[in-house]
Structure 1
Amino acid sequence: MELRHLRYFAAVAETCHFGQAAAQLHVAQPALSYAIRQLENELDVTLFTRTTRQVALTPAGEYLKGESERILAGVDDAVDGVRRIAAGRSGLVRLGLTGIAAFSHLPRIARMVKRELPDVDLQIQSDMLTPVQCEGLRTMAIDLGVLRPPVVGEEIDMRTIDIEPMVLAVSVDHRLAVEPVVSMDDLRNEMFVMYDSRDSAVNDAAIRSCHRAGFVPRRAHEAPGTAVLLALVAAGLGVAVLPASVRSLPLDGLVIRDLVDGGTVELALAWRAGQDNPVVQSVADAIAAAFAGAYLGDHP
């Protein structure tokens, strides 16, 4: 059964008039009549009773009318869906984020994608360190990553979407909690809480700030993630130098203070080099738009 024959049948079934159906379909009436006879011969049934005065559906024709409406609607939906996917307007995009970015940057990303690409589903994987995201991009476990440069390994492209100042996190009863602004030199004799990963870009940025101030930070504790790290700081077990977006994670007993010389750390959007999925491209563009005015590079 050809799809064309089914559309011809549906038009005649709707109008019960070959002339009107032919005009609606922009085909000659004899060609339409011939197509319906071909369909009836293929199915070995009579779909219409025809007289000089009227055309009516047989019981078999009534059944096929309902089925043809369902089938043709499904075909139209499929065509529309394929076109949306090809245009980057529909589909699934798996997005990885670092721990802090999941709280500070994800809300803006999700709002922009929902507004600009309502038929795109975001699958979020959070609290992923940069090396894990890079491996996920290479193995196609994720499509886009929001991470802290530099990227690890090859075949990963990126563009910076934000540059954040580093700030100080201390417990509410710490001596520096009352100071509105702190310098790195004030931390010379402090014990630090840091991430336990050797590849932490946040650790690296904090250590560079300490080195510029002329000292090496002393690690009191190491944490597997941001929530544990902040809890240790709030408990008074050390201080931490973190990106300013940590302010989006309020915690009882924790105080955030500006650092005059704490340096900065980047946040970047990363993707697998050579990726050509139009839906991924559309989401990448939406994320770029969400952070318009930041430091944007080439398109994926």
Structure 2
Amino acid sequence: MELRHLRYFTAVADTCHFGKAAERLHMAQPALSHAIRQLEAELGAPLFTRTTRQVRLTPAGEFLLGEAQRVLDTVEDSVRGVRRIADGRLGLVRVGFTGTSAFSHLPRIARAVKRDLPGVAVEVHADLLTPAQCDGLRNGDLDLAVLRPPARGEDIDLHTLEVEPLILAVPADHRLAVEPVVSMADLRTEGFISYAAKDSVVNDAVMRSCQAAGFSPHREHEAAGTAVLLALVAGGLGIAVLPASARALPLAGVVFRDLADAGTVELALAWRRDNDSPLVRSVLEVLEAALAPQPHEVSR
């Protein structure tokens, strides 16, 4: 039995007329009648009762009709699925996020993929530093990454999402909390709260900004992530310099101030250059359009 036999059979069952079924199938009626007789012979049971005036399904035919429709529907679903995979519109994409970029950019990423690629699921890998994300892209654990450049190696391509200025976070009762303008030099005697990770791009940017102002920061405390870092600031344990997107995480007891002469940090969408997956390419096209630079979001 071949799929064409099931299609022939369902066409006759739907129309209860060999001539109309043959027209629907764009074939000659004698050829269709012969194919149905072959199917009946193979199954060992009549599928239709035929008279000069009408064609009706037998009990065996009624049973086969339900099964045939299920089989043909499954085949059609499979064909559509394969085509959608080939077109990059069906599958699972794994995305890494550095620091709290999951809070600032994941909502837009998820919304854009759901809207434009409803057959694609997003698997989130959060709180990864840039080196770990680059390794994930290379070994195939990640398809895309939202990271802080620079990316190590020449096999990673980047699409800049935004360039953020560094800002100041101080306790609400700190002397600088009411200053309209703060410079890096004003932080010379302050105790800093920094990220604990040794590979933190933000820490490096803060160090460069402090050195450009003529001093090295005195690090009093370290935090594993931005939420803890801000909680330590709120507790009066020190000040922090971090990307402007930290403002998206307001916390009672913390005041944010612009820094007149601080540096910047970049956030970028990254992927392996030789990744020729249609799925990854489709998601990239959607995200590059959806994630146009916007006012400020965080990572470490």
TM range (shorter): over 0.9
For the 8 Å contact 2:159–2:288, the answer to whether it is kept is no
For the 8 Å contact 2:162–2:293, the answer to whether it is kept is no
Q: CA deviation at 1:153?
A: 4.5
**Correspondence for 1:297:** none
Cα displacement string for residues 129-167 of structure 1 (whole angstroms, at most 9, x for unaligned residues): 112211221222221100001113463222211111111
SS in 2 for 1:265: strand
- CA change 1:86–1:180 in 2 (3 A) is farther
In the alignment, structure 1 residue 12 sits paired with structure 2 residue 27: no
For the 8 Å contact 1:100–1:245, the answer to whether it is kept is no
**Correspondence for 2:107:** 107
Q: CA deviation at 1:100?
A: 2.1
Cα displacement string for residues 17-68 of structure 1 (whole angstroms, at most 9, x for unaligned residues): 1100010111111111122122222222221122222211111110010111
Partner Cα separation in structure 1 for residue 179 and residue 117 of structure 2: 45
**Correspondence for 1:291:** 291
Partner Cα separation in structure 1 for residue 266 and residue 192 of structure 2: 21
Partner Cα separation in structure 2 for residue 194 and residue 174 of structure 1: 18
SS in 2 for 1:236: coil
For 1:239, the aligned partner's letter is I
For 1:12, the aligned partner's letter is V
**Correspondence for 1:165:** 165
Moved more, 259-268 or 150-159: 150-159
In the alignment, structure 1 residue 242 sits paired with structure 2 residue 229: no
Cα displacement string for residues 81-126 of structure 1 (whole angstroms, at most 9, x for unaligned residues): 2222221222211111112211122222222222222222111121
**Correspondence for 2:200:** 200
**Correspondence for 2:67:** 67
SS in 1 for 2:112: helix
**Correspondence for 2:187:** 187
Partner Cα separation in structure 2 for residue 125 and residue 150 of structure 1: 19
SS in 2 for 1:182: coil
For the 8 Å contact 1:192–1:219, the answer to whether it is kept is yes
**Correspondence for 2:27:** 27
Cα displacement string for residues 188-230 of structure 1 (whole angstroms, at most 9, x for unaligned residues): 1111111111111111111111111111111111112222111
Partner Cα separation in structure 2 for residue 107 and residue 218 of structure 1: 36
**Correspondence for 2:253:** 253
For 1:55, the aligned partner's letter is V
Q: CA RMSD in A?
A: 1.5
Gaps of 5+ in 1: 295-300
**Correspondence for 1:214:** 214
Percent identical residues: 67
Partner Cα separation in structure 2 for residue 292 and residue 99 of structure 1: 20
Partner Cα separation in structure 1 for residue 95 and residue 180 of structure 2: 36
Partner Cα separation in structure 2 for residue 279 and residue 106 of structure 1: 18
For the 8 Å contact 1:162–1:291, the answer to whether it is kept is no
**Correspondence for 1:133:** 133
Partner Cα separation in structure 2 for residue 293 and residue 129 of structure 1: 21
**Correspondence for 2:150:** 150
Q: Which portions of structure 1, spanning 4 or more consecutive aligned residues, are displaced by more than 6 angstroms?
A: none
**Correspondence for 2:298:** none
For 2:234, the aligned partner's letter is A
The size of the alignment, in residue pairs, is: 294
Partner Cα separation in structure 2 for residue 234 and residue 6 of structure 1: 71
TM-score by length of 2: 0.93
**Correspondence for 2:262:** 262
SS in 1 for 2:122: strand
For the 8 Å contact 1:233–1:240, the answer to whether it is kept is yes
Moved more, 257-266 or 109-118: 109-118
Moved more, 199-208 or 83-92: 83-92
For 1:22, the aligned partner's letter is A
**Correspondence for 1:121:** 121
For the 8 Å contact 2:193–2:238, the answer to whether it is kept is yes
For 1:143, the aligned partner's letter is D
For the 8 Å contact 1:46–1:60, the answer to whether it is kept is yes
